[in-house]
Amino acid sequence: MWIPGIRLVCRTPWRYLDAAVAESPTPARNAAELLRRSLVRGRLGHAYLFSGDDIDVLEAAAIDLALLLACESPSERAENGAALAACRQCSHCRRIANRTHPDVNWVYPESKIRQITVDQTREIIRILNLRPSEAPRKLAVFSGADRLNPGAANAFLKTLEEPPAGSVILMLSTEPDRVLETILSRCLRLSFGAGTLRMPDTVRAWVTGFAREVAVAKPGLLPRYRLLGNLLEGLATTRASVEETLAAESPLERYPDASADQKEHWERELTAGIEAEYRRRRGEFLAGLQAWLRDVWLCASGQGGGALFLPEVAEISASVAARGHAEAARSNLDAWEQTQRLLHTNVQEALALEVGLLRLHL
């Protein structure tokens, strides 16, 4: 069931806890196994924080758990009757996988600055206080729990601490350090991350090119603005790709004869979905650059060796590091981290990136 402002589509096929136990990196296997043991013992918690490197993995884990709690014909059960493997075929399973089940409610950041708002939170509280429509339990899944604004978080604290009977709350975040402490303290935390940065090939290629440009750039403002242009061009290409992909998958393309009100609703959802997905991909570019700046700092402080994220440009990282000193390289990390935090606000993107790049000692 959709709460207004959520993304329109699921980017990757959903996976199951039994597959996650067998195939995922160790932290994900451990988290999946802990959930299974909780089901076997009949001690499932009422509120969880799923953290990790990839929001798709976290959303897949949330769907996996919802399947086990709602499946009509599980292919495997524990002695206490709890489902350990979903059938994947029943009505509950199909609708949960398609995110259309009335008892599994998804909440995504909306509003101009991509936050989960008070109105969204109040709506999910209202829904959780209703009896389940069809499944044994109701689930609320917050994808991007770090985007709960303070007002929304405060409005949700009582429900999070004492959810209505028969409800489970899942908070998902790839930036758990940004989740408010009042939220963290009320959730059981499970990590589905691999513990290392997983850089998409496109981002790795861009960061490699950026590092090479830095290596040959001369001092002065003009080369720095060329670097800014490089970054903005990459981001513009990314946004265009996101818009094309999500627009093609939107109901607006499939149902041209829908009512004007329905089209307007889909257009709002499409706009929100594009912005959310673009910000996620932009975060990959910024995190990739942060990883390279870390490499430069490691080289500057004599700790390079096999610890570099980008060993293919190790010589370039070392040459850039040799221009300054370890303290300057460390300040670059702080400055770029501050730029990334700033971009979580309503600041103008190009201006924040311009200031951030100008502050770097390269």
pLDDT digits (tens, 9 = 90+) for 142-187: 998 988 888 888 899 889 888 898 899 999 998 887 888 788 888 8
Give Cβ neighbours of residue 64 (< 8 Å, ≥ 6 apart): 14, 15, 16, 17, 20, 32, 86
**pLDDT band at residue 194 using 50, 70 and 90 as cut-offs:** low
How many CB atoms within 10 Å of residue 201?
7
Structural domains in the chain, sorted by start: 17-191 (3.40.50.300), 201-358 (no CATH)
Give Cβ neighbours of residue 360 (< 8 Å, ≥ 6 apart): 293, 332, 335, 336
Angle at 144 between CA 92 and CA 254, to 5 degrees: 55
117 in Cβ contact with 107 (< 8 Å): no
The identity of residue 197, as a single letter, is L
DSSP class per residue in 233-244: HHHHHHHHHHHH
d(CA 63, CA 215): 45
Digit-coded pLDDT (tens) for 134-143: 999 999 999 9
172 in Cβ contact with 144 (< 8 Å): yes
How many CB atoms within 10 Å of residue 70?
25
Q: Locate 62 and state its tokens.
A: 């949330």
Instruction: Give the model's pLDDT for residue 101.
Output: 93
- Whole-model pTM: value is 0.57
d(CA 57, CA 38): 20
Backbone dihedral region for residue 195 (phi beyond 0: left; psi -120 to 50: alpha; all else: beta): left
- The gap between the terminal CA atoms of the chain, to the nearest Å, is 49
d(CA 147, CA 5): 13
DSSP letter (8 states) at residue 186? T
For residue 308, pLDDT over 80 is answered with no
Give Cβ neighbours of residue 315 (< 8 Å, ≥ 6 apart): none
User: For 180, phi and psi rounded to 5 degrees?
Assistant: -60, 140
Give Cβ neighbours of residue 132 (< 8 Å, ≥ 6 apart): 103, 138, 166
DSSP letter (8 states) at residue 110? B
What is the mean predicted confidence (pLDDT) over 203-222?
86
User: For 50, phi and psi rounded to 5 degrees?
Assistant: -95, 120
Nearest CA-CA partner of 8 in 245, 347, 261 = 245
Instruction: Give the model's pLDDT for residue 26.
Output: 53
**pLDDT band at residue 102 using 50, 70 and 90 as cut-offs:** very high
